[in-house]
Structure 1
Amino acid sequence: MGDTALYIETRIRADLDTLWSATQEPARHQRWDLRFTEIDYLPRGDGEPQRFRYATRVLPFLTVAGTGVSAGEKERPDGTRTSALRFSSPHPLSLLAEGSGYWRYVPDGDGVRFLTGYDYRPRWGRPGVCLDRWLFRRLMGWATAWSFDRLRLWLERGISPARALAHWLAEIAVRALVIGCAVTGLGMEALLRLFGPLAPAMAYLWPLLLLWVVALALFLPPLPTTPAARRCLRAPATRVRAPRLPRTLENPR
């Protein structure tokens, strides 16, 4: 993988088999991964790698689909596990033309270090490369990290992926409401009345108070029950060598 490959890592306090099941079973995987709306395994013969179909709903009436092939090393001598995949999408509106990646599971005390590395070739020529570099790759990295933290909340705290999404949307709505009220001055008179005789003096300090409120709404850390991409590592703490397994898989096209 090149220098632009995406890397995401989190630590989940769960046993290895539970994490493996939540990430390898399509019905469970699609519940927490923001990048996919549907994941389905396709029939396979004996000894063949597992093929799958994935789909992402980008608009209410627009779904982008693709296919992939995966293989997993369930048992390794050092106690870790690795799952690798290659994928491609023929859909003309899919910026991801084809790519490959891996998931690695590393037991760590009472939990598991769960990490991924993946890269892809963008579509649409030079404009697609620029769009990917400045926007889409950043969005994909954020969506992967956010999904990993959503998975962590599910396995550690029992917060279902649907409830975690509701927490996130509610927190965004509250923050947006606070910023909107601060910028428009909505409710200013009612708040000033709470200061009684000090209201005239507080009116002069109102701009500073607004800045403080907006700063809190923007930069206050998310609640512990709300998924947050910032909780995941976006670069390896030490040099990580990508497994050779993805290169042994055939292109799913």
Structure 2
Amino acid sequence: MGLYIETRVRTDLETLWERTQEPERHQRWDLRFTEISYLPRAEGEPQHFRYATRVLPFLVVAGTGVSAGERHRAGGERVSALRFASPHPLSLLAEGSGYWRYVPTADGVRFLTGYDYRPRWGLLGRAADRLAFRPLMGWATAWSFDRLRLWCERGITPERSRNRWLLEALARVLAVAVPWAACSLPLAFASLAAVPLTVLGIAAAVLGIAAAVLVPPSSHAPAARRCLRVPPARTREPRLLATLEQP
């Protein structure tokens, strides 16, 4: 699989399963989706679903998928697998597949995902994916996993944790922007009297940048850096994935 994300959640397996498998709850914490809805299905068939992501205020990219889950496996593990595709011409992601594993531990659940996809738009799409889109997808998945962890462990709803993250991000931006603006103002006067103020402003800007980069994220706000992004060992796709056809 091209992307791998793992976190450990101190909660019971059933709570984590419900908040990841029920569409109404899933779409609350997963930054990658704006809407997820199940389609009607017959008994015993895989679950088909529709998803949508609002890329811009006026642009929504939609697609379809099929998923299946196993709730009773050896060792108490659970797994779900899916295949998905988007026919939207503006969607860089053409089709893909992935899985979630739920591994019980002594103090909670080891929750991990592996997934990959095929970009469209030929050589240009592959370049855009490698340079920007794939790193962004990895970050968004890890950030969302930590958002889910906060919901399960601390009872911080996805909406509250998102708002706290936005406030923290704004504070980091201001820590850089305000000192930088303060040192730029004396430069505009281009006088010797302004030199000390400029030096002080530059020093403050450097300190602001250091603070923005080095100060750890709040324990009440999601952070992608808390998740494991490299598999600890060679991982294999669940056999369940091979039973699903591309939607």
TM-score w.r.t. structure 1 length? 0.90
Say if 2:83 and 2:96, in contact at 8 Å, map to a contact too. yes
Please say if residues 69 and 78 of structure 2, whose CA atoms lie closer than 8 Å, have aligned partners that are also in contact. Answer: yes
1:175 counterpart (150, 172, 175): 172
1:113-132, aligned counterparts within 5 Å? 113-132=110-129
Alignment gaps of 5+ in structure 2: 187-195
Match of 2:31 among 28, 31, 34: 34
SS in 1 for 2:4: strand
Give the match for residue 248 of structure 1.
243
Partner amino acid, structure 2, of 1:241: R
The whole-number CA distance in structure 2 between the counterparts of 1:79 and 1:211 is: 51
Which of 205-214 and 115-124 deviates more?
205-214
Equivalent residue for 1:99?
96
In structure 2, relative to structure 1, the CA distance for the partners of 1:46 and 1:222 (3 Å cut) is same
Q: Report the residue type matching 1:228 in the other structure.
A: A
Shift of residue 202, structure 1, vs aligned partner: 9.6
**Among the aligned pairs, what percent are the same residue?**
66
Q: 1:89-168 counterparts in 2 under 5 A?
A: 89-168=86-165
Give the superposition deviation at 1:46: 1.6
- 1:224 Cα deviation from its structure 2 partner: 0.4
Change in Cα spacing, 1:131 to 1:206, as seen in structure 2 (3 Å) is closer
CA 1:204 to 1:63, structure 2 compared with 1: closer, same or farther past 3 Å? closer
Residues 76-97 of structure 1: CA distance to partner in whole angstroms, max 9, x if unpaired? 0221000000000100011110
Q: Which residue of 2 aligns with 1:195?
A: none
- 1:14 is aligned to 11
Residue equivalent to 1:43: 40
CA distance in 2, matches of 1:219, 1:57: 32
Is 1:73 the equivalent of 2:70?
yes
Note if contact 1:182-1:214 (Cα within 8 Å) is conserved in structure 2: no
Closer, same or farther in 2 for the Cα pair 1:80/1:213, shift >3 Å? same
Distance, in Å, in 1 between the alignment partners of 2:199 and 2:86 is: 58
For the residue of structure 1 that corresponds to 2:53, the secondary structure is strand
Question: Alignment partner of 1:139: what SS?
Answer: helix
- Secondary structure of 1:78's counterpart equals helix
Residue 6 of structure 1: how far off its partner (Å): 0.2
Residue 192 of structure 1 corresponds to: none
Map of 2:233 onto structure 1: 238
Partner letter of residue 212 of structure 1?
L
Superposed displacement of residue 204, structure 1: 5.9
CA distance, structure 1, for counterparts of residue 9 and residue 92 of structure 2? 31
Match of residue 197 from structure 1: none
**Does the CA contact (< 8 Å) of 2:182 and 2:201 recur in 1?**
no
Conservation of the 8 A alpha-carbon contact between 2:175 and 2:211: no
Residues 57 and 203 of structure 1: CA distance in aligned 2, closer, same or farther (over 3 Å):
closer
How much does 1:210 deviate?
A: 3.2
